[in-house]
């Protein structure tokens, strides 16, 4: 009889240990069941400007207040930058330039711009690039097209497609598209610098557009390489998307192969990783 009681106690303890072990294994899975991208989308979707229980007049007032807030935000950014940099700092002198056929085409021109018009120079520049981004559980494919219809002005269209698979086996994705008008402030034979403003659209469950600004610099120190750094910030509802990029390019005539490090902050969710890509100039 006593042996039976001991056996039952042993079985009970073993069963309890199994349950505890199962619970310990389950907790991390539950903790990782929500992906980073899912959390980022929830934060990007949040908007505290209105409430579903407010009256129609209150909703109208909130909407107009939101519009004024966005307008004031844009104005404040522009005024502050203008006051710090001034007209000269933002726009400089509008000396005319021509585009070299491609970087390092001439012996005395390392980069994209040539001072005088010679045979082979171009009056516009079209560039397209695509790269693969990897950051542990998050990967991405990023595409970008820029068209400079003037040496000082250009249009830029970029698209980011992030996708994620976590430890719980869940998957998610996030798409962002940006369109900017860029002003190329620095147009030297070895340096290109620009800033731009425009709009960013976030798809998936967010489905919201917002204001975006960007700055960038590319230096051509010696054949056949260049170094590029850029920063872009988009304002979506009550959050923002920050993109910081560093790239090292290897130029081979009209084609450049590059690698680099990209750091993203999507509504406060940090995503950092390395990229491999190719760029073509036309």
Residue-wise pLDDT tens digits, 83-135? 555 555 566 666 778 899 999 998 889 999 988 777 778 889 999 999 999 99
What average pLDDT does this structure show over 66-76? 52
The confidence band for 143, taking pLDDT boundaries of 50, 70 and 90, is very high
What average pLDDT does this structure show over 65-89? 55
CB-based burial label for 109 (10 Å; 0-12, 13-18, 19+): buried
What average pLDDT does this structure show over 229-244? 93
Which residue would you say has higher pLDDT here, 247 or 53?
A: 247
Is residue 251 pLDDT above 50, yes or no? yes
d(CA 238, CA 56): 22
Is residue 53 pLDDT above 90, yes or no? no
The confidence band for 50, taking pLDDT boundaries of 50, 70 and 90, is very low
What average pLDDT does this structure show over 46-52? 50
Q: What is the pLDDT of residue 12?
A: 57
Tell me 55's DSSP state. Answer: -
What average pLDDT does this structure show over 41-68? 53
Instruction: Using a pLDDT cut of 70, give the percent of the chain over it.
Output: 69
Q: What is the pLDDT of residue 181?
A: 97
The confidence band for 265, taking pLDDT boundaries of 50, 70 and 90, is very high
What average pLDDT does this structure show over 10-38? 58
251 Cβ partners below 8 Å, 6+ apart? 102, 103, 104, 223, 224, 225, 226
d(CA 147, CA 157): 9
d(CA 212, CA 233): 6
Q: What is the largest CA-CA distance in the chain?
A: 106
Spell out where 21-102 has E strands. Answer: 98-99
Q: What is the pLDDT of residue 226?
A: 97
**What is the token pair recorded at 228?**
């590029």
Residue pointed to by tokens 């084609």: 255
Is residue 33 pLDDT above 80, yes or no? no
The confidence band for 46, taking pLDDT boundaries of 50, 70 and 90, is confident
Q: What is the pLDDT of residue 98?
A: 87
What average pLDDT does this structure show over 134-151? 93
């Amino acid at each position: 009889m006593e042996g039976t009681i001991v056996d039952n106690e042993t079985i009970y303890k073993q069963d309890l240990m199994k349950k505890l072990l199962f619970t310990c294994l389950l907790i991390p899975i539950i903790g990782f069941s929500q992906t980073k991208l899912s959390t980022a989308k929830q934060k990007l979707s949040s908007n505290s400007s209105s409430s579903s229980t407010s009256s129609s007049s209150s909703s109208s007032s909130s909407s107009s207040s939101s519009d004024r807030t966005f307008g004031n935000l844009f104005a404040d950014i522009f005024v502050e930058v203008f006051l710090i940099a001034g007209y000269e700092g933002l726009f400089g002198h509008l000396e005319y330039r021509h585009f070299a056929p491609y970087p390092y085409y001439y012996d005395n021109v390392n980069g994209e711009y040539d001072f005088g018009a010679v045979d082979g120079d171009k009056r516009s520049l079209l560039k397209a690039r695509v790269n693969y981004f990897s950051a542990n559980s998050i990967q991405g494919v990023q595409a970008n097209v820029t068209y400079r219809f003037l040496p000082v002005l250009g249009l830029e269209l970029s698209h980011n497609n992030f996708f994620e698979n976590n430890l719980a086996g869940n998957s998610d994705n996030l798409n962002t598209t940006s369109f900017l008008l860029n002003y190329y402030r620095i147009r030297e034979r070895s340096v290109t610098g620009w800033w731009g403003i425009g709009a960013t659209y976030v798809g998936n469950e967010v489905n919201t557009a917002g204001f975006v600004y960007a700055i960038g610099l590319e230096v051509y120190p010696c054949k056949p390489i260049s170094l590029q750094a850029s920063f872009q910030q988009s304002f979506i509802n009550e959050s923002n998307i920050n993109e910081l990029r560093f790239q090292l390019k290897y130029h081979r005539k009209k084609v450049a192969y590059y690698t680099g490090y990209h750091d993203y902050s999507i509504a406060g969710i940090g995503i950092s990783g390395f990229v491999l890509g190719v760029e073509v100039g036309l």
